Structures are given as C-alpha cells and as structure tokens.
Chain A
Amino acid sequence: MAAIRTKPDPQIYTFEGFGSSRYPNLMLRGAGELDNWRLQVYTRKWEGYEACRKALKMEPAAVTAEVKASDLRGRGGAGFRTGMKWGFMPKDTPERKVTRYLVCNGDEGEPGTFKDRAILEYNPHQLIEGMIIAGWAMQCRTGFIYLRGEFSWLIDKLEAALQEARDAGYLGKDILGTGWDYDILTYRGAGAYICGEETALLNSLEGRRGEPRVKPPFPASVGAFGQPTTVNNVETLAAVAPILRMGGAAYAELGTPGNTGTRIYGLSGHVKRPGLYELPLGLPMDFILNDLGGGSSTGRKIKAVIPGGSSAPVFDAKDFDCPMDFDTVKARGSMAGSGGMIVMDESTCMVQALLRLTHFYAHESCGQCTPCREGCNWMEMILHRIEHGQGRPADLDLLASLPPRINMRTLCPLGDAACGPVESFLQKFRPEFEYHIEHKSCMAGAKSILPGVLAPA
C-alpha cells in the first residue's frame, strides 16, 4: 500500500474577499478538496475544458494573441512575457521537418517555493487544459510534464488525470474533431535542483545529466530532442485556461499595468499562518505578511523576508511596504521570483540562515562552470568558519569579493542565484557577521537552527 495523504492540505487559507472579483481564485480553485482532481469535479464545478473548446475553435495565432493581450508573465521566476515566448516558436516550418514540443516545468525545488505542488495535487486538469491550449497555439505534437523526482507520490494522480482527459477525448488523436493529434507524457526527474533551469531540464528529459546548455541556440529553435520547444512553469500554464475563459483583456485588468493577473504567494518560516495565497500582483508585502499571514508566529518582530524564493536578495524591515510585482520588487533590489516568501524573525541568526542557503547552492551546483562550482563552495567554507567561531577579520571582504566573480560568468543562473543572498545579507546585516567574527558568538543569541552536516562537530 502506498503512503497516502489522508487529509486536506492544511496550508491553504482563505480570507474575507477571497474569491471575489477583487481577489479572484483562478488557480487554487478547490485546493484542499480531496476529490477536486477528478475530471467530473473539474467539469461540473469549474467550467472545466470550456476554455479548451473555445481555443480549439480559434486560429492558433489568435490564441497566442489572447495570451499576449493578457500580458501574462512567466511565474517560474524570470517573469518573461508568456505570449512573447510562445511567439518565438517557428510557425511556418512544415511538420515533416520539425516536431514542436511543449514542456511543463514542474521541477519545483527552490526553498520557499511550494505553489506548483498544490496545482498538481488539487487542480491537475487545469494544468492539462492549459497545456492543451498552449499546445494548440504553438501546434505542438507532444507535451511533457517534467516533475521533480521527489513528487513521486503525485505522478500516479497526474497519470490518472491524464488518462481521464484521454478518455474524454481532450488528448490523443483528432482532439474534439479538429484533426489535431496531441498527447502529454510525464517525466520524473531524480533530485537535482538545477533541472529547474530550462536547458538543464531539457537535458534531463533527454535522459542525460541535468547540465545547462549554452544559449543560443535557445530552446525555441533547438530544444528537446533537437526540436523547437517551449518551456513554461506549472503556474503559468495553469493560468492559461482562465485567460481564455475570461478573455485576455479582462485578465489584464487584474493586478497592475505590466504585472497583470493573479499569482500564488507561498508564506513560510516564522509566520503565523504559513501557506499559499493567490492574489493579484502589486499588493504590498506587509499586507500579505500581516493581514493574511498573521504576522510573526513567535511574537518577536519580523527581521527579514526573502521575497521570491531563496535566490532572491533579502529584504529588511524598511522594504516591507514593497508592492509585490515583478518590476517594483526588482527596482527595490530583489526579485519577485517564484513568489515564495521566507519570513525570519529577529531571533534568526543571519549567518546561519545564509550558511544554510549557501550550502544548498554549493550542493546543487552541477559542477559544469568553474566560477559556480568553486565559488559556491568557497562562499560556504568562509561562512562555515564564521559561524563556527573561526572567522578572520578579512573574511567579510573576501566573501564580498566572490559574487562579482561568479555573477554572469556561468552558463545558467544558479551561480547568480547563490550570489543574491550573499550580497544582500552582507549589505543589510553586516553588523551580525562582524559580531560573529569578533565575539565568536551570535548577536541574535538564539539556539542554532543548523542541522546535521552544517552543525559543529
């Protein structure tokens, strides 16, 4: 008997106004309800596959135009415009010469990010519907859902949902009488964070080591199996059906200009009500933290928040009023990234927090590029000795000198991702690091959060 999650996910909370036209619930619909993944529930309760039927009656170019009109930006982290990305796929090449692929990036491995799991677990048909619409828009033959290996318990559910869609005629040969053949296959990764990077993901999908590729050529021209490929995040593809259903222009009215629609924010760490919140872009961080998240879970003040997954530069208290959209967060020196917000109260030792994050990047570096492979390990080593009372006065300058030597000097952004926390922690919490070196103890004075491999012997 396989282990089964027996209760609704406790992480999903609601609040007054949730589901209204101001805060529409587009992607987490029915999340937490155990039978929500079934096709009949999706069809009966959520107008399932209506958007798909509508899209299949439109010209593929018109579907792309609708997504362009919605101004949807990729929810995986980079915030690239989805309609524009779809537009990069070659259109006029005869099918006997190319096979176009759509790949759904479900390799959710960034600490603080847990939004895609909820969609895959509770709303797989919305993702499948989005993939059918995207596949039609780009005239793909096959779609792949690349899931991280740890989601083995989700694969069965996803396979069952795909089979339901096949049985209902939404996948397979001659979909809904259009003459278009299209199917979706799942592919399970095997535990490498780097496979979330699109070219590493494609290598992994081809059965190789998940090492990023040199770009150009970009996946739109040479992607999976050497064919034109578009890679989109789970949340991005899950947003496609609502866009088609409500119309691109109506979707663009949500959020702020240039940062349209809703996205799922994940709250974790020292926060009273951690969980997933689907909200229009542009709401201030302190509203999400305090009004929805309930503020600190420990009764102590919140000292720092990482706003968009662990690779985003950290915010201190003066930035908590920042509107959470791609452009404003970037202008304030961080990135909205994947929307995973990690909250740390004032008892958190920032040296330990940074050491834990840097250990992650050093562990997950694929080793292909020397600046990332050596640099991440070096940063971890320096932080390790600062944390364990062996820091030297020159260590902080040495540490600060490393990110400029890693940033933008690697094939993929993993090296840059490791540098964001280091630079921002040093910039905003330098006195804590100096205190550690000088006093060989922690300014915050709290108990160590470091487990196993990082704890002192």
Chain B
Amino acid sequence: MNHPLPPETSDVPLAPGERLPRTQREKLSPEAIAKIQSIAAQFPDRMAGTLPALYIAQKEFGFLSLGAMKEVAAALGVPEGHVFGVATFYTMFRKKPVGRYHFEVCTNLCCALNGAADLLAKVIEKTGARPGEGPSPDGLWSVDEVECLASCGSGPCIQINHGVFDEFVDEAKLEALMDACRRGETAAWGE
C-alpha cells in the first residue's frame, strides 16, 4: 500500500524538535532520473534501486529533504513511505545540509584508544562546526562523530567526503588536509 508523504511545507515534526529542512532544488535532473532507472533495471525488483537512487538524489539535492525523497519514489515507481522509511534508517543519508567538506571522525574504541577524542576536539576547534549541528557559518565545514570506519589499525581516522585519512599522529596532518580542502584539492561534498 502506498503511504504518501505529507507535503513538504508540513509542520509535522519528525522527531522531537526536528524538522526536515527544504532544499533549493525541486526536481531531479533528467540525467539523474535516467541513471536511477538504468540502475533499477539491473535488479529483479525495482525497489532494489532505492539505496542507489537515494545516493543520486543526495548528490543532486545536497541532502535528502521530503521533496527529494518524493522525487526518488516517483523516479523508481515505489511508495513514498517506503523511500522515507529507508532514507531515515541509514545514517549515511543526510537529512540535513552538510558543509562543502564533511568531516566524519571515528570515535569508536580502537580510534578512541589512540586519541580520537583529542582529534575530534581539534577538528571542532579548527572548523568551527560542532558534531550534528550542520555546516560552519562559512558553509565550508561540517563535523560528525561516526562509528567504525575500518581503519582500526591506523586510527584515529577521519573520512572527508569520500576519502579516508588515518594515522593522525600530529596536528600538522590535520592542518595540511584542511589546507588541501581550501585549495579545492579534495572533492567537495556532492561532486
């Protein structure tokens, strides 16, 4: 059964104190729709295209608003409620905007034993963004704490957009990485 989502202007909260922000875009591009449909056609069931389609939408919209989820549902021909359920289940689907460079700091045990707390504090200090609170005022940085990034042997570890960086033995490496981001040498989120 299709459970349609409320219109995007709805004031119904998702969780106490939380609402899905709106994106500036309203529609998926024709290329994105074509890509979603070609991916879905690879699988025996179109629904299997949901996760790849949400990634494509996330890239187009910057994050997944209700409008983005509805677009995905329409492109795949699956219920909107299903897409909403999937998008809200997985942590990598962003329901809020992130900065141009999104820092995900692993704070799980192996990284924690090797100084993840100090690293996180340095990232917060240098970027001016706080975990879970959206981008820094200049829109350049955002920070989140994440669970294991499978770099346990060389932690503490940070993922910046699609790159994993580990072995943070000193502050200089973090500085160098941030400089590389400022110079545009690391892919911006959504690129």
Q: Which chain A residues have a beta carbon within 8 Å of chain B's beta carbons?
A: 1-5, 9-11, 99, 108-114, 116-117, 148-153, 185, 187-193, 204-210, 225, 227, 266-270, 274-276, 310, 340, 342, 344, 348, 353, 356-357, 360, 363-364, 366, 448-453, 455
Contact = CB atoms under 8 A, between A and B. Distances in A.
Interface string B169-189: 000000000000000011100
Nearest to B130: A452
Interface of B: 42-45, 47-52, 54-55, 78, 82, 85-86, 89-93, 105, 107-110, 112-114, 116-117, 120-121, 131, 145-155, 159-165, 167, 185-187
A207 B48 contact: yes
A99 B45 CA distance: 13
Contact of B109 (A3, A207, A342): A342
Given A111-B110, A269-B152, 8 more contacts: A112-B148, A192-B90, A207-B49, A274-B154, A449-B116, A451-B120, A453-B107, A453-B145
Given A152-B162, A356-B109, A109 B150 contact: yes
Nearest to A116: B150
Contacts, number: 182
B50 A207 contact: yes
Nearest to B46: A207
A118 to B, nearest CB: 9
B152 A268 contact: yes
B50 A208 contact: yes
A189 B92 CA distance: 9
Nearest to A11: B153
A151 B105 CA distance: 15
A4 B187 CA distance: 10
Given A207-B48, A451-B117, A268 B147 contact: no
Given A209-B89, A269-B110, A451 B116 contact: yes
A275 B131 CA distance: 29
B117 A449 contact: yes
Contacts of B155: 268
A137 to B, nearest CB: 22
Contacts of B160: 3
Nearest to A185: B42
11 contacts: A2-B187, A112-B110, A114-B152, A149-B90, A188-B52, A190-B90, A191-B92, A208-B86, A268-B110, A269-B113, A449-B112
B108 A111 contact: yes
Given A3-B160, A10-B154, A117-B150, A450 B92 contact: no
Contacts of B51: 187-190, 204, 207
A206 B110 contact: no
Contacts of A348: 113
Contacts of B145: 451-453
Given A3-B160, A190-B51, A209-B89, A150 B154 contact: no
Contacts of A451: 105, 107, 112, 116-117, 120-121, 145
A453 B145 CA distance: 8
